[in-house]
Structure 1
Amino acid sequence: MKVYSNSIQYGQAVSDSILKWAADDNYLLTRKKRRYSYSKQPGKWTPTPPGYIDAVEPYWSQIRPVSLDSAGQFKPVPPPVFSTDTASAFMKDVKEVYRVTQNMNKEEILIASFWDCNPFYLNTQGHLNFATKKLSPGGHWISIAGQAAEIAKADWPKTTSAYLLTSVALFDGFISCWDEKYRSQLIRPETVINAYVSEKWRPLLQTPPFPEYTSGHSVISTAAAQVLSNIFGNEFPYIDNTEVDYGLPVRHFKSFSDAAQEAAISRLYGGIHYRSAIMNGKLQGENIGNQVIKTIILR
């Protein structure tokens, strides 16, 4: 009875400490901010079809991170400068998105769909709009952490470590990524291609309602893969069944890094990111993953 009572008291003390710490994470302050004001400068992000949804979480960089010293600790290099010059680095990125999405094979389409992870897919039928809810990018990696623990027959401490470190990598990854998104405010491929390349072009995936640079999935997937590799090993073959409930087949991966690479390039296949956002997002995620491993010491 004494062990039971002490366990309850200890658990309560832990939860009280967590809630006290979380109360100062700035979340409530960000709920009181003014509505996001869009820049009218050329090359800056504006809402996209089909719903032209307002900017999602423009103040998320103000949320207190867990392992980072600030949202801008791993600030990426700036994106290519917006230009309509066909020889510019920016338009080369744009034309690559258009070219790739025009010539995709079945495997590339499946990859884009598997990593879509759109938690708010907007369906439009006449005047009727309704959302189909699916798993988010973060939710997909939490699922992978659980599958890995099951495959490895991990004990309770190792399993909780996998969930904890993956969650922190995702949390800090989104803060770091969103810090850059609303700093650079880069225009999405759909907007540029429709204006300068083809008015009829549409991406395979729905364009998310926030700026383009860097690629969120590239950042958080790489960060999550870093911490999971640190726990379960760099070579960890597994079958990902996360999307089966949403009508997609399982996918086989040789490692978490293999999965993160695929998640990142899926954004190019989906037509929603330029290669610069993907490559620099991966570097950003790698730095975050390493920071989580270095900062959070598990016994």
Structure 2
Amino acid sequence: MTIHTHKKAFLLAGLIATGLLAGCRQSPEPEIDPTAFKPEGIALNTLPADVAIRWADMALRITTRTPGNSPTYASRAFGYLGLTMYETTVFGNHDARTLVGQLNGLKRLPYPQSGKTYDWVLSLNAGQAYLLKQLYEHTSVFNQRSVDSLEQVVRRERIDDVDAETVTRSEEYGRSVARAIYEWSASDGGHQGYINSFPMDYKLPGVPGTWLPPSDGQVAIPRALHPHWGRNRTFVPANSRMPMARPVAYSTNPQSAYYALYKAVYDKNKQLTQEEKEIALWWADDPSETFTPPGHSFNLANITVKTAQPGLAKAAETYARVGMSVADAFIICWKCKFTFHNERPSTFVRANIDPRWFPFWPEPPFPGFSSGHATQSAATATVLTDLYGLRFALTDSSHVGRHEDLVRNVSYKPRRFNSFWETAEESAWSRFLGGIHTQQDNEAGLSEGRKIGANINQLVWKK
């Protein structure tokens, strides 16, 4: 079922509310209750999710094709893109509630005009195009033109049966919401984070057990990636108040719990099965070659929407929840990483067990505890489970089509799961198999990710 074949049916009647001035404008004062809007006409959830899927695909494509991208910055972009998808369409849904007043510092957004008709697909389309180009203003001209091209394709599919005033009004509204969200994003601490990803002035504590930048890791720069990212503003206030998990105390005693954690990584890496190697590479999501680890989570949301085929309203909410979950997960995780500065297995193993050891997968440029993969995967699984249920079968095809890794003798085959939590557990386990995380990193990440996702779920999404 395509967007084009439903053009006439997709026009929504105007939003009727009292006390509003004409025009798309910022909400005047908090006494105007956005829940008072009463959309009429076709419910947003009767519209197919095609346009949301196409923009999610585009966001993933731009993330992959932008050189120098990082999981931290990508997670932030997915958070704002998902939120914008939701807020540009929320007033077309009889049951939904805006997140204005619920997120950190988001006090107002533009409202639609009272008594006017909007085409919400055009609003979403214009908002995604505007924001994606702003967040990735540093990407190539080709990528920017790809965004423009998709915007025009969707626009052409819809405008034949939409009057000119409605087209203009809908697109202006979508851009105004996206513009307001982008302006709000500039104060979160991660604005233009791609400019100085590896600050030279950051000093590591230098105590025993401290992480050291690897000389043979994923990147050539022996410095820490975004060491201050944990100070950024979270989307959800409750996530910023979470107490941090604490790692096991450092020890080189072979009888200690700390030693056992790192020895287990070393022992496992010496006897990986072929399937375990495939798991390690499937979730590796090297930012120089893929859409990054948070992109993998955003793509799981995309696969879920394609599989479940919900209406546009639920699809937009899905991308919003997953986007904000991975964004907050990276902030909370990075706060933990650069509070404790826990060493990776390679450092401890080479110093205390085997000086010639190399992990199966090269080490990323930041401390080990806790695991970013585990944290963001658990947050994603938690919100998707709340939306689609405990038992949801899906096939993860994220890396189908990639060339075989000849060095490690691994090809990329689709992976089948019976629940979202299975994806989170395998994502976390993959880092242990890769030799770059201990099980305490993974267990803490899964536990914290659950809490982060639960806080996203507890926002008031419905009236």
TM-score by length of 1: 0.90
State the distance in 2 between where 1:255 and 1:94 align: 30
* Aligned-pair CA distance for 1:28: 4.5
The aligned residue for residue 188 of structure 2 is: 25
Task: Measure how far apart 1:219 and its partner are.
Answer: 0.2
SS in 1 for 2:401: helix
Deviation readout 1:4-62 (Å, 9 max, x if unpaired): 23212322321222122112112249768762112221110111131363100001012
Query: Residues 101 and 271 of structure 1 are in contact (CA less than 8 Å); yes or no, is this contact kept in structure 2?
Result: yes
**% identical aligned pairs:** 29
Q: Distance in 2 between matches of 1:62 and 1:29?
A: 15
Secondary structure, in 3 states, of the residue corresponding to 1:212? coil
- Asked whether 1:190 is paired with 2:358, we answer no
Structure 1 residue 212, shift from structure 2 partner: 0.5
Of 256, 259, 263, the match for 1:95: 263
The residue identity in structure 1 corresponding to 2:207 is Q
Question: Does structure 2 conserve the Cα–Cα contact (< 8 Å) formed by 1:39 and 1:45?
Answer: no
Counterpart in the other structure of 1:35: 201
Whether 1:230 and 2:362 are equivalent positions in the alignment is no
Distance change in 2, residues 1:42/1:260 (3 Å): same
Q: For residue 357 of structure 2, what is the aligned residue in structure 1? A: 201
Higher RCO (CA 8 Å, separation ≥ 6 residues):
1
Aligned to 1:124: none
- Does the CA-based 8 Å contact 2:344-2:437 persist in structure 1? yes
1:246 to 1:74, Cα distance in 2 relative to 1, 3 A: farther
Question: For residue 67 of structure 2, what is the aligned residue in structure 1?
Answer: none
Q: Does 1:85 align with 2:253?
A: yes
> 1:259 maps to what in 2?
423
Q: Distance in 2 between matches of 1:218 and 1:283?
A: 9
Measured in 2, the distance between the counterparts of 1:225 and 1:22 equals 25
Query: Do 1:97 and 1:274's aligned partners in 2 also have CA atoms closer than 8 Å?
Result: yes
Cα distance in 2, alignment partners of residues 112 and 298 from structure 1: 39
- Which residue matches 2:83? none
Give structure 2 stretches of 5+ with no counterpart. 1-163, 404-411
Letter matched to residue 152 of structure 1 = A
Q: SS of 1:166's equivalent?
A: helix
Distance 2:175 2:432 in 1: 46
SS of the residue corresponding to residue 245 of structure 1 reads coil
**Is structure 2 residue 65 aligned with structure 1 residue 65?**
no
Residue in structure 2 matched with residue 289 of structure 1 by the alignment:
453
Separation (CA, whole Å) in 1 of partners of 2:324 and 2:381: 12
- The structure 1 residue matched to 2:330, chosen from 168, 171, 174, is 174
Distance 1:64 1:100 in 2: 38
Worse-matched range after superposition: 205-214 or 37-46: 37-46
Instruction: Name 1:105's counterpart in structure 2.
Output: 273
The question of whether the paired residues in 1 share the 8 Å contact of 2:395 and 2:415 is answered with yes
CA contact (8 A) 1:112 1:266 kept: yes
Q: Deviations over 1:103-158 (max 9, x none)?
A: 221111111111111113xxxxxxxxxxxx22311011111111111111121111
Secondary structure of the 1:98 match is helix
Alignment correspondent of 2:305: 149
Show the counterpart of 1:54: 223
Residue 441 of structure 2 aligns with which residue?
Answer: 277
Q: How much is the aligned-residue C-alpha RMSD, in angstroms?
A: 1.8
Q: Which residue of 1 aligns with 2:242?
A: 74
Contact 1:134/1:246, CA 8 A, preserved across alignment: no
Moved over 6 A (4+): 29-34
Q: Which runs of 5+ in 1 are unaligned?
A: 121-132
- Give the Cα separation in 1 of the matches to 2:213 and 2:227: 13
| Pair 168,296 (structure 1): closer, same or farther in 2 beyond 3 Å | farther
SS in 1 for 2:383: helix
Secondary structure, in 3 states, of the residue corresponding to 1:37?
coil
Give distance in 1, aligned partners of 2:181 and 2:256.
49
**Residue type at the aligned position of 1:10:** Y
Larger deviation, residues 49-58 vs 206-215: 49-58
CA distance in 2, matches of 1:213, 1:52: 21
Max radius of gyration: which structure? 2
Letter in 2 for 1:104: L
Instruction: Report the CA distance between 1:77 and its aligned residue.
Output: 2.7
Measured in 2, the distance between the counterparts of 1:27 and 1:254 equals 35
Amino acid paired to 2:441: A
Q: 1:220 aligns with which of 376, 395, 408?
A: 376
1:244 partner SS: coil
CA distance in 2 between partners of 1:200 and 1:34 (Å): 29
Conservation of the 8 A alpha-carbon contact between 2:239 and 2:455: no
Is this contact kept in 2: 1:225–1:260, CA < 8 A? Answer: yes
